[in-house]
Amino acid sequence: MTPAEIAVVLLVAAGTFFAVVAAVGVIRLPDLYTRTHAASKSDTLGAVLTLGAVAITFGGEITAVKTVFLLLFMFVTNPTAAHAIARAAYDQGIEPWTADDSGGEPE
Amino acid sequence: MAAEDHTRILVPVGESTTLRNTVAYAVRVAQDDATERGVSATVHFVYPAVWRSVEPTRAEKFERAGDLLERVEVWAREDVEPDEADVAVETAIVGAEEYLFSPSDFARVLFDYAREHGLDRVVVDPEYQPGGNAPMLRPLEFELSQTGLDVEEAPVERPARRAALVGRESLSQYLVVFGASYLFYLVLGGFSVDAFELFTGAVSAGIVTVVLAKISLKGPPDLGRLPGQAARMALYVPYLLWEIAKANVAIAYVVLHPRLPIDPSLERFEAAVWGDMPATTLANSITLTPGTLTVDVSEREFYIHALTRSSREDLFDGALERAVRFVFYGRRAARIPSPEERLASRERGEQ
């Protein structure tokens, strides 16, 4: 394997790992707000790492630049979407889950 | 309400082309109504503050609002017919202690004021734009009528929309949006200097500019500060990326830990950043970094949901906030105390 291939494999593996973490988080965490944490952060990094692998695979300058633009848009849109969801929930009066709700021991 | 024996009208005011006529109309309505019922009338002209309580240019804006209200008061007194019912004029600035952001924020402070003074009627200036270029009048009227107030738009002559597409003051605004979209188009096209690409790019950028320039930038950009901001932004991005990487390792640890060691809480803090872009940048950066999520930015406060205790401490440490201030205002602004220190000094001041 060439160094580029190794980098691609590592990036895709790490990206997949964080995407899985996001999925696990959405299932395990107790309420909407905490789940949004997992969905917004881990998912962003997962996508960023995978797009990094894409940029290396194609190698060509323009593709790399376009991928960087994609990354930028993800950085802007992902937190905005997370904020919209959390704000909507907050406006609806959904109370955040706290450690006291289950005696400090989430299921 | 006490409207039976007295005519009371609320008029929200701000810089607008039809303000003069709206004032005349409101006074007219108040006086007619009062004369008809044989009572006296009061017209309240209220300026909803659109600045943040920690903004540096606050005093100046306060002064401008005061000047406007003074002018309105003079106009209103001119309009009162001496031989009809008595019309008193009151002016006030409301909402200066909070950051009015959405139409419902404006509606709330106006409604509070109306309740406090027993007002049940609102006359709105059709060109009143509390949110700068963001259209806000219609939702504001809706919110106000939801509260049970009697809302009416002053039927004043509105000036024709500016005939020239590009006013001189907004030329730089158009140029910046045009330049940015043209550059973006050329980058996507691979920087080819083909005549076809150059032409279609100019056409596309032109369409984008005409349609979106007023929306994407609120006012003419400060061209002198743009390069500095862009350069500091370039420093900020790697820092943010590093923070994001750390955030994800922390979240992955928490999510995959068998006991799920979370201690979520909702925090609020008053951020020392001003304006849409810096506030948006800070809000998005907070969402992207260690276990914190921006829930709401209305009023002057940020509502942050923090997943773990350490993420909460990081937030109040204010490193991100400082970085955002550095990007938009330069090095001097980075030295404002952190949220924790501000909170502490405010508590000391209250004691």
User: What's the average model confidence in pLDDT over B228-252?
Assistant: 81
3-class DSSP state of B292: strand
Instruction: With beta carbons under 8 A apart, name residues in chain A contacting B263.
Output: 98-99
Judge whether residue A107 has pLDDT over 50.
Answer: no
Mutate one of B256, B305, B310 to test the A interface: name it (highest A CB count within 10 A). B305
Residue A76's closest chain B neighbor by CA? Answer: B284
Q: How confident is the model at residue A78 (pLDDT cuts 50, 70, 90)?
A: confident
CB contact under 8 A, B296 and A17: no
Computed over every residue of chain B, the mean pLDDT equals 76
- Asked if the model's pLDDT at residue B191 lies above 80, the reply is no
Give the pLDDT of residue B112: 85
Q: Which pLDDT score, from 0 to 100, does residue A105 have? A: 46
Q: Which residues of A touch B108 (CB under 8 A)?
A: none
B261 versus A5: the higher-pLDDT residue is: A5
pLDDT value of residue A93: 74
For residue A29, give both structure tokens: 């965490």
Q: Quick check: helix, strand or coil at residue B339?
A: helix
Does the beta carbon of A67 lie under 8 angstroms from any beta carbon of chain B?
no
- The tens digit of pLDDT for each residue in B209-219 reads 888 877 766 66
Q: In this complex, do B293 and A105 lie within 8 Å of one another by their Cβ atoms?
A: no
Q: Do A33 and B296 touch (CB under 8 A)?
A: no
- Measure the CA angle with vertex B173, ends B191 and B294; round to 5°: 90
- Integer CA distances (angstroms), B308 to A58, B34, B77, B291, B311, in order: 39, 61, 59, 6, 5
Nearest CA in chain B to A17: B252
Can you tell me the mean pLDDT for B40-54?
76
Query: CB-hemisphere CA count at 13 Å for B181?
Result: 20
In this prediction, residue B2 carries a pLDDT of 44
Residue holding tokens 């988080």?
A: A25
Predicted confidence (pLDDT) at residue B159 exceeds the cutoff of 70: no
The yes-or-no verdict on residue B24 having pLDDT over 60 is yes
With a cut of 70, say whether residue B1 has pLDDT above it.
no
**% of residues, chain B, pLDDT over 70:** 78
Do the chains contact at A33 and B305, CB–CB below 8 Å? yes
In Å, how far is B278's CA from the nearest CA of chain A? 13
The pLDDT assigned to B133 comes to: 56
A86: chain B residues, CB-CB within 8 Å = 293-296, 305
B17-31, B46-60, B134-148, B154-168 — which is least confidently predicted? B154-168
The lowest-confidence range among A5-9, A51-55, A63-67 is A63-67
Question: A-B interface: how many C-beta pairs under 8 angstroms?
Answer: 112
How far A8 CA lies from chain B's nearest CA (Å)?
18
Helix axes A43-58, A61-91, angle to 10 degrees: 170
CB of A12 closer than 8 Å to CB of A49: yes
Tell whether A1 lies on the interface with B, counting CB pairs under 8 A: no
ipTM of the predicted assembly exceeds 0.85: no
Residue of B nearest to A80 (CA): B284
The reported pLDDT for the residue numbered B76 is 84
Chain B residue numbers touching A28 (CB-CB < 8 A): 255, 260
> Rounded mean pLDDT of B300-320?
76
Most confident of A13-27, B240-254, B327-341: A13-27
Express each pLDDT in B82-113 by its tens digit: 777 788 888 888 877 776 777 788 888 888 88
User: Shortest CB distance from A42 goes to which of B252, B263, B285?
Assistant: B252
Average pLDDT over residues B61-73: 83
Which range scores top for mean pLDDT: B127-131, B279-283, B341-345?
Answer: B279-283
Set out the domains of chain B in order of their start, with CATH numbers.
2-153 (3.40.50.620), 168-216 (no CATH), 226-350 (no CATH)
Among B161-165, B205-209, B216-220, the minimum mean pLDDT is found in: B161-165
DSSP chain A: --HHHHHHHHHHHHHHHHHHHHHHHHHHSSSHHHHHHIIIIIHHHHHHHHHHHHHHHH--HHHHHHHHHHHHHHHHHHHHHHHHHHHHHHHTTPPPP-GGGGTT---
Residue A10's pLDDT band, with cuts at 50, 70 and 90, is very high
Contacts of B307 in chain A (CB under 8 A): 34, 37
CA-nearest residue to A40 within chain B is B288
Chain A residues with beta carbon closer than 8 angstroms to that of B295: 33, 83, 86-87, 89-90
Q: Verify whether the Cβ–Cβ distance B187 to A69 is below 8 Å.
A: yes
Mean pLDDT of A79-107: 72
pLDDT score recorded for residue B346? 63
Which residue, chain included where needed, has tokens 């550059």? Answer: B183
More confident residue, B169 or B324: B324
**Quick check: A92 pLDDT over 70?**
yes
pLDDT at B317: 74
Question: Cβ contacts of residue B264 below 8 Å, gap of 6+?
Answer: A31, A33, A34, A96, A97, A98, A99, B305, B306, B307, B308
Q: How many CB atoms lie within 10 A of CB B196?
A: 9
